[in-house]
Structure 1
Amino acid sequence: MEDKQPIWQRSIPLETINAYSRNTLLEHLEIRFTEIGPDFVRATMPVDHRTVQPYGLLHGGANVALAESMGSTASLLCLRDLETEAPVGVEINANHLRSVTSGTVTATCRPIRVGRKIHVWQIDIHDDA
C-alpha cells in the first residue's frame, strides 16, 4: 500500500487547533478536531440539546457549522503565509441523507481541489451507528 504525501503546508497540533475554538461557536457546539491525516481532517460533534431541532433530530445548521469549520481548518493547514492569507468560506452545500437523534457524529474533510486561492472540500458526516 502506497503512503500518501501530506497536502498540508504546515503542521499544527490538534491541541492548538482545538484551542482556537475557545469562546466560539465551535466550543458551544463542542466540536472537537480528533485527527489530521496526510489528506484529511476529522472532527466530532455531540448530538444533544445544543445541536438538535425541535423534533429531536440533529439540526441541519449544526451539520453545516461543523462542515464549515472543518473546511476552514483544512484550508488553514494549506495556506503558505498566515501573515497575508486567511481562510474564509465562499460557498457551502449540504445534503442531509439520514437523521440522527443522539450520540456523536464524526465528520471527515477531504480535498476535491486545493488551488492557490480556492479550496474545495468534501465533508462527510456520519453517526456512531
Structure 2
Amino acid sequence: MQLSKKEVLEKANSACKDTLMETLNIEMVDFGDDYLTARMPVNSRVHQPDGVLHGGATAALAESVGSFASHVFMDTENLFIRGLEITANHLKSVKSGFVYAKATFLHKGRTTQLLDIKVTDEADNVISVCRLSTISLPKK
C-alpha cells in the first residue's frame, strides 16, 4: 500500500523528534514524484553573529531534506541511507522569515544517489545551491 502525501510528510516530520531537525525547526512541507521540500525559520537561533542566516544551518537544512528524499524514494525496508558529501554555495543573505530547500535527484542509483538542493527565501530568491551525495547500504 502506498502512503498518501500527508502520511509521508507526517512520517518524515515525526522522525525528526529529538534530532537536529527538531532543534532547527526543520519541517518537511511538500513532495512529488521527484522532489521533497523542507522549510526552516530564520531567526536568532540560526543566525551567525552579525544577524543573518548561518551557512552551517543552511547546510544542515540541505542535508536533512536530501537525506529524507533518498529515504522517501529508496527501498528503506532493506537499506539505510547515509550522507557521503555535501557542498553549499551561499549566494544571498537572509535575516528573517523562512527558507525552503527543494531536493531533486540528479542520479538515483542502487548504491549512490546525487541530489541537487536549491534553498530559496519566501520571495523565491535563490539563497544557496547545494549538492548532496548519499549511499544506500544493506541493513543486514
With the shorter chain as reference, the TM-score category is 0.7 to 0.9
Paired position in structure 2 for 1:7: none
Paired position in structure 1 for 2:71: 76
Paired position in structure 1 for 2:128: none
Match of 2:89 among 62, 77, 95: 95
**How many aligned positions are there?**
119
Which one has a larger percent strand, Structure 1 or Structure 2? 2
Q: Which stretches of structure 1, 4 residues or more, deviate above 6 A after TM superposition? A: none
Distance 1:80 1:63, change over 3 A: same
Task: Name structure 1 gaps, 5 residues minimum.
Answer: 1-9
Paired position in structure 2 for 1:107: 101
TM-score by length of 2: 0.81
Provide the rounded CA distance (Å) in 1 between the counterparts of 2:20 and 2:76. Answer: 25
Match of 2:120 among 118, 126, 129: 126
Task: Name structure 2 gaps, 5 residues minimum.
Answer: 124-140
Q: Secondary structure at the match of 2:89?
A: coil
Provide the rounded CA distance (Å) in 1 between the counterparts of 2:104 and 2:81. Answer: 16
One-letter code aligned to 1:118: T
Q: Secondary structure at the match of 1:76?
A: helix
Provide the rounded CA distance (Å) in 1 between the counterparts of 2:28 and 2:79. Answer: 22
